[in-house]
Every structure is written in C-alpha cells, then in structure tokens.
Amino acid sequence: MLVRTTGVSFSLDRQGRGYVVISVGVSPIGWHHSVGVRCSCSDWRDWHAFEGCWVHNDAGGEEIWEVALCVGTHIDGDAAHKQIAFAAFATDLQSGATVWDNNGGRDFRVTVQRARDAAAASAYAAEADNTLLARAHALPGF
C-alpha cells in the first residue's frame, strides 16, 4: 500500500470559519483501509489524528481522500500566524499495518494567517464547498 499527500487547500464558509483541506492519495484501490492525518499546532508537543473521507477513485488507480480541519473564524481581526504540521497515513484494516507520508521525515507544514477584516475574509466565502465543510474536524489550538 502506498500513501501520498496530493494537495493542501484553504476555504472559508459563509460564517467566516476557515478550513485547511488536505488531500491524500492511496493505492491500490480497495475497501480494506482507513486514511487520515496526524497533525499538531504545537511542534508535536501534542497531536491529534483525524480520519479522512473518501472522495473518488482516479483513473490512475489511486483513491483520493480528504481531511478538512476547521481552523476557526478568520474575521476576528487576529493577525497571528498559526502553523500546522501534519503527516498523512493509511492503515490496512486486515493486517493493521500503517504507512505514512511525512514529507521524507520533515513533516508537511502549512501556515494559516487570519484575515485582518470581514471584507478580506468574505472574498473567499463565495467559493466555499459546504458539502466538504460539513465533514470538517475541529482542530484544537485554533
């Protein structure tokens, strides 16, 4: 089984809540595994694991999964940066074996900066995918 992080994106819903969306590819296609990310906002002093949601199988023989992490409201005027470190995993439910994509041991990192005002935040709200955001996990530390 192979696992790889295929992308990271950001979205806001109509209430101004921000989401970091992590896409993970797993091959081969099968029903015998779970997929998710382990992430931390404290340089791994503590961490949280979140299960992904299957999105689709692509033509190349890879399953695409997504994990949406709610990082809070982005219209509160707080200009502080928050960094999320994460690694993707897939666990074979039959054998219990887990494989990781941790960026070659460096972990993946994304920095979230809060918008300075409601107008800046609302510019992104029109593009929010509410079906995806309904599956989001609250990320402690935000």
Q: Quick one: average pLDDT of 116-121? A: 57
Q: What's the chain's average pLDDT?
A: 78
pTM, to two decimals: 0.78
DSSP letters for 59-74: TTS-EEEEEEEEEEES
- What pLDDT does 127 receive? 40
- Note whether 133 and 67 are within 8 A (CB): no
Q: In this predicted model, which residue has the larger pLDDT, 138 or 67? A: 67
What pLDDT digit, counting tens, does each position of 45-72 carry?
999 999 999 999 988 889 999 998 887 6
Distance CA 21, CA 3 (A): 17
For the cut 70, the answer to whether the pLDDT of residue 129 exceeds it is: no
